[in-house]
A and B are shown apart, each in its own frame.
Chain A
Amino acid sequence: MTSTAQGGRDKVSRGKVSSAWRKRLEIAFFVTPALALFALFVIWPIITAVQLSVFRWKGFGPLTDFVGLRNYLTVLNDDVFVDAVIHNLIIVGGSIVVQLPLGLAIALLLNRKMWGQGLLRTIIFVPYVLAEVIAGVVWFQLLQPQYGVIDNLLGSVGLEAPEQGWLGDPELALWTVLVVLTWKYLGLAVILFLAGLQSVPEELYEAAQLDGATWWQVQRTITVPLLGPTMRTWAFLSMIGSLQLFDMVWILTGGGPANSTTTMATYLINQGTQSQNFGIAGAASVILFVIALVMAVLYQQLVLSRDTRPDVVTRKKKTREVIR
């Protein structure tokens, strides 16, 4: 650890050994609780999911009925699961396509000097703070066919709502869920984009203003490009969240009507804890994980890597210098 003088080397090296041991003990003392908890409740269940996926198991007794990859074939040949994957992908794409422009527009709007700015920022974030379940229960009531306020308001302006209700029509249910999810999560996009806007140096705006650029030109050529990294990271988080979607669907539709809103998560809960098909659920978990991992890696390679490429890094450095 420290350089030692020639004399008394024995003593020092003995001290070194015991201090090295002491250090190891300290590290173990600090890290063990977190690692143990993580291993028991995160790593072990994931390994178990892989193990369960190659057995037929009803939730009791030993794992004896080895079926190889048959659970995977069952899952992949199950139309309900394939549809669930498609639903997840629609939610992934739909969330990004809708929330990105809307969130950006609102963030740019709120970034202007205006009265009540702080209050607006607080309000826009409220839906995100509510539990998905609570938001879901409220929306479920609003969307009811007979006494729901949304159909009532549409009726009062002469529009006709779908007969079985927004959540009861297999053609519309998934899109309705997407609208509610947009309401719930738009605030997160806005808040993150606003935080990203803080790091755009004021000098750039001043320079652009001196050059006679209009507000729109400034947003298009300065703000949006500089917000790139924030938007890309937000989209990544949104994607991971959409792939795991469970709470909102479970409350609004339970996956119905006619499986038109099932997600991978509702599928594996239905198979696992509801029908005791733990092997099938295990296989579905592994497939969900693989899909999430592949999408995360692809996204990392294709999109996020732009943020760490040298030219971008130097630009960031320059930006920092400008700030100082």
Chain B
Amino acid sequence: MSAPNAHVLMRAPSTSGRTRKGRSFGGGSPLVYGISLVVVALTLGPVLYGVLGGFRTNAQIAENPSGLPGPWVLDNYVGVLTGASFWQYALNSTIVAVLTTVITVVFGVMAAYPLARYEFKGREGLFMVFVVGLLFPATVAIVPLFILITQNLQLGNTWIGVALPQAAFALPVTVVILRPFLAALPKELEEAAQLDGTSRIGFFWRILLPLSGPGMVTVGVLAFVGSWNAYLLPLLLLQSDMRTLPLGVADFSSEHASDTAGVFAFTTLAMIPALVFFLAMQKRIVGGLTGAVKG
């Protein structure tokens, strides 16, 4: 994954999706629509089954697993929504994800700035530190990380104790995506700012940051989604009231294993924030991922 031309791909969002021209070949033959329907059914089937299962009772599910709700019951969803734990988990997930995102984006854009626009000895070496960091999976370091955070830093079971390492592991991809993005902004801007007597730090604040908004949104969305879905690190670091949604879902499912309908309702509600966020940020997520891959 060499980074230098990732900026080319940062434009992916604008060229992907519905704006592109259709290919000259083929078209929608019945076969194509048929296959598409099968793909859609297999993709959404499990999710929809979970959503509908939440509207059934355990008796209904036991009697006919593949039936539809009849009658529809709201009890499962109401039960989850009126209980305190769901909202507590959602709050924890939100705070951890926001902290992770803010730290990742602020530190990432700061580090990417000199790497993109200063000339100094050791610049490429410094950049390589982050590139190599892409290869380090968090799993490898998970046990020492656990010891570091719970024993040395005494940050076990805190929001920031999860957000800091998550941000650290999100930094490589952030720097790798942002550097070419910042480097692509025209040199003339910097020269004009210098003529006006603006310092480089002033240039960073007043010109570079506003212009690199799209790039920061992309890396921010990636960091947010990564944190929102994370399991392993929160599993080791957070207990009881501090648990995030994935932990809450997993624990609810094992504690209420016989309450299938309840598990479906809880899982469905836990899916909603991620799905809404995805629909709102779809282009950014897809663009960021394709940028990271093709870069």
Query: A residues touching B (Cβ–Cβ < 8 Å)?
Result: 23-24, 26-27, 29-31, 33-35, 37-38, 40-42, 44-46, 48-49, 52, 59, 106, 109-118, 120-127, 129-142, 144, 146-149, 151-153, 156, 183, 187-188, 191-192, 194-196, 198, 202, 205-206, 209, 215, 218, 229-230, 233-234, 236-237, 240, 243-244, 246-247, 250-251, 264-265, 268-269, 272-273, 278, 281-282, 285-286, 288-289, 292-293, 296, 308
Which secondary structure dominates chain A's binding surface?
helix
A120 to B: closest C-beta gap in Å: 6
Q: How far is the CB of B90 from chain A (nearest CB, A)?
A: 13
- Inter-chain contact A272/B27, CB cutoff 8 Å: no
**In the bound complex, how far is the Cα of B138 from the Cα of A45, in angstroms?**
10
- In contact, B294 and A195 (Cβ under 8 angstroms): yes
Which residues of chain A come closer than 8 Å to B169, judged between CB atoms? Answer: 41-42
In this complex, the member of B36, B42, B53, B247 whose beta carbon has the largest number of chain A beta carbons within 10 angstroms is B36
Collect the chain A residues with CB atoms within 8 Å of residue B164's CB: 37, 41
A115–B146 alpha-carbon span in the complex (Å): 50
Give B194 Cβ to nearest chain A Cβ, in Å: 11
Cβ–Cβ < 8 Å partners of A122 in chain B: 279, 282
The 7 A-B pairs of least Cβ separation, nearest first, read: A113-B22, A41-B168, A45-B141, A34-B111, A48-B144, A131-B229, A114-B28
Tell me the complex Cα distance, A95–B97, Å. Answer: 29
A-B contact pairs, 21 of them (CB 8 A): A27-B114, A30-B113, A30-B114, A35-B129, A109-B35, A118-B18, A124-B43, A126-B43, A129-B225, A130-B274, A156-B66, A195-B12, A195-B16, A198-B20, A240-B135, A265-B142, A265-B232, A268-B139, A282-B144, A285-B139, A289-B140
Chain A residue numbers with a CB within 8 Å of B204 are 30
A191 touches B274 (CB 8 A): no
Chain B nearest CB from A36 CB (Å) reads 9
For chain B residues 132-159, which have a beta carbon within 8 Å of chain A? Answer: 133, 135-148
Q: How far is the CB of B243 from chain A (nearest CB, A)?
A: 12
Which residues of B sit under 8 angstroms from A123, Cβ to Cβ? 40, 43-44
Q: Which of B1-49 contact A (CB under 8 A)?
A: 1-2, 12, 15-18, 20-28, 32-33, 35-36, 39-40, 42-44, 46-47, 49
B63-117 interface (Cβ within 8 A of A): 64-66, 103, 106-108, 110-111, 113-115
Asked if B137 contacts A37 (CB within 8 A), the reply is: no
Which residues in B have their C-beta under 8 angstroms from that of A153?
66
Write out the residue numbers on chain B whose beta carbons fall within 8 Å of the beta carbon of A183.
42-43, 46
A114 touches B33 (CB 8 A): yes
Best-surrounded residue of A133, A137, A144 (most CB of chain B within 10 A) = A133
Interface contact A191-B267, CB-CB below 8 Å: no
| Given A49-B144, A202-B24; 14 other pairs, CB 8 A cutoff | A30-B204, A31-B115, A33-B107, A44-B144, A112-B27, A112-B28, A114-B28, A156-B66, A188-B289, A206-B24, A209-B24, A230-B293, A233-B293, A246-B231
Interface string of B253-265 (1 = CB under 8 A from A): 1000000100110
Partner of A131, one of B64, B147, B231: B231
A306 to chain B, nearest CB (A): 14
Q: A140–B137 contact, CB under 8 A?
A: no
> Contacts A31-B111, A129-B285, A229-B294 known; A48 to B274 CB distance under 8 Å?
no
Within the complex, which residue of B2, B43, B286 is in contact with A195, where a contact is CB–CB below 8 Å? B286
Asked, given contacts A31-B126, A134-B271, A251-B250, whether A40 binds B144 with beta carbons under 8 Å apart, the answer is: no
Given contacts A37-B103, A38-B168, A129-B225, contact A196 B294 (CB under 8 A): yes
> Chain B residue with minimal CB distance to A156?
B66
Q: B residues bordering A, Cβ < 8 Å?
A: 1-2, 12, 15-18, 20-28, 32-33, 35-36, 39-40, 42-44, 46-47, 49-50, 53, 61-62, 64-66, 103, 106-108, 110-111, 113-115, 118, 120, 126, 129-130, 133, 135-148, 164-165, 167-169, 171-172, 175, 200-201, 204, 225, 228-232, 236, 245-247, 249-250, 253, 260, 263-264, 267, 270-271, 274-275, 278-279, 282, 285-286, 289-290, 293-294
Chain A nearest Cβ from B27, distance in angstroms: 5
Contacts of B118 in A (CB 8 A): 23, 26-27
Q: How far in angstroms is the closest Cβ of chain B from A88?
A: 11
Q: Hey, which chain B residues are within 8 Å of A142, CB to CB? A: 46, 49
Residues of B within 8 A of A244 (CB): 137-139
Could you tell me the distance between the alpha carbons of A306 and B175 in the complex, rounded to whole angstroms? 26
**Min CB gap A203→B, angstroms:** 11
State how many angstroms separate the Cβ of B203 from the closest Cβ of chain A.
11
Do A131 and B175 form a contact, CB below 8 Å, given A126-B44, A183-B42? Answer: no
A109–B36 CA distance with the chains assembled, in angstroms: 8
| Contact B23 A113, beta carbon cutoff 8 Å | yes
**Nearest neighbor of B228 in chain A, beta-carbon distance:** A131
Q: Do A41 and B140 have beta carbons less than 8 Å apart? A: no
Q: How far is the CB of A125 from chain B (nearest CB, A)?
A: 7
Q: In the complex, what residues of A have CB within 8 A of residue B39's CB?
A: 106, 109, 120, 124
Q: How far is the CA of A265 from the CA of B133 in the complex (A)?
A: 19
Contact present for A233 and B1 (CB under 8 Å) = yes
Q: Are B140 and A49 in contact (CB under 8 A)?
A: yes
Give B161 Cβ to nearest chain A Cβ, in Å. Answer: 10
| CB closest chain-B residue, reference A51 | B144
Specify which chain A residues have a CB less than 8 angstroms from the CB of B133 in the assembled complex: 38, 42
Which B residues touch A285, using CB under 8 A? 139-144
